[in-house]
Amino acid sequence: MIKPHGADHLNPLYVLDDTQRKELEQEAKSLPSIIISSAAAANAVMLGGGYFTPLTGFMNKADAISTSVSMKTNNGLFWPVPIINVIKDPASIKGAKRIALKDPNVAGNPVIAVQDVEAIEEFSQEDMKLMTEKIFRTHDDKHPGVAAFNSVGNFVISGPIKVLNFSYFEKEFPDTYRTAYQIRESMQKLGWNKIVAFQTRNPMHRAHEELCRMAQDALKTDGILIHMLLGKLKEGDIPADVRDACIRKMVEDYFPANTVLITGYGFDMLYAGPREAVLHAVFRQNCGCTHFIIGRDHAGVGDYYGPFDAQTIFSEEVPKGALQIEIFEADHTAWSKKLNRVVMMRDVPDHSKEDFVLLSGTKVREMLGNGIAPPAEFTRPEVAKILMEYYKIHK
């Protein structure tokens, strides 16, 4: 395994000591409080789990703008997107030096973290426009990430935080949600040193499954970390519990024992394409992974990014040596009718479009909704069965 980003050891901000945590929970009851955005709550969860090492809390205005523009903080730390707590109205916490942050995603809005307030600053319209352009490469409010980023307000509260819980992720996904330090511990127990990570926000079809195998074989890794996003997605995406069931079934039936770790992390999807791909690489390094698969349209949405922009950002914009983790660049993968196996399209220049089993997402959803399993070359039958059950209810 490799060192965390920017540090010798992970820096999880979750208060592990039970006594200290209970004292903080008690103190939080008397503190000025705010219900934060889902994005800020997800940031707190990631900070708590050590995923955002070496950060100690929420960024200030200067660091937020600097990371947006140049992918580094004012003190020179490489970081691809701002990690911020933004609200619409700071009146209720004016003058406070310490505040309780309440979770918007759990009934009753329990306190998720306590924050020391270093500053409350306001982003101007020009600031918001600049950050949006740099992070998302568009201002289009039809882009789900742009819409979310610009809907939470423009007052940024900076300062270190102490995290008291992991929101709904531990309770709703007890077998899947893991912190970065728990993932490192699991890898150490398995004796893994060289690990390739695969990011997913979807069920894994045959092409994804084979892509993991291709990467493992090419890199000669000890294991594969399948690491799924468990937070909020855009409307129409398949819920995390269904994806989880699909992936577990696929691994159980088609991978050797102890070669794959199935885990999830608590974060809301940004749909920021290249910038989000770099963030994904940062926190996979913090998990201990040595390699990370970046495929076609990684973390993208619609037609906002080129199919391989999430790969070229690493060679064109990420400074050499900024990250220890290495990128495994993958092409679009599909079943070859000629070769009777899944291939990367770049590896078979003699193929035409008709030589592949290709189905659009719309077509697959239509088939599943009608109780028709996609071809076995596209989706494992066991996975298709789980998806058909879901679509039967959610047509």
**C-beta separation of 136 from 304 below 8 A:** yes
Q: Work out whether the CA dihedral 253, 254, 258, 264 comes out positive or negative.
A: negative
Say how far apart CA 306 and CA 344 lie, in whole Å: 18
The closest alpha carbon to 329, from 300, 294, 299, 305, belongs to 294
List alpha helices for the chain, DSSP H: 18-28, 38-48, 61-70, 125-136, 144-149, 169-172, 180-190, 206-219, 240-254, 274-287, 309-316, 361-369, 381-393
Say how far apart CA 131 and CA 388 lie, in whole Å: 41
Residues ≥6 apart with Cβ < 8 Å to 236: none
Three-class secondary structure of residue 147 per DSSP: helix
Say how far apart CA 42 and CA 81 lie, in whole Å: 14
Q: Which residue has the tokens 């949600």?
A: 177
Q: What residues are labeled active site?
A: 201-202
Strand order in the sheet with 291-294: 260-265, 223-229, 195-200, 291-294, 326-329
Say how far apart CA 51 and CA 283 lie, in whole Å: 5
Residues ≥6 apart with Cβ < 8 Å to 22: none
Q: Would you give the DSSP letter of residue 327?
A: E
Say how far apart CA 24 and CA 26 lie, in whole Å: 5
Burial of residue 154 (number of CB atoms within 10 Å: 0-12, 13-18, 19+) = middle
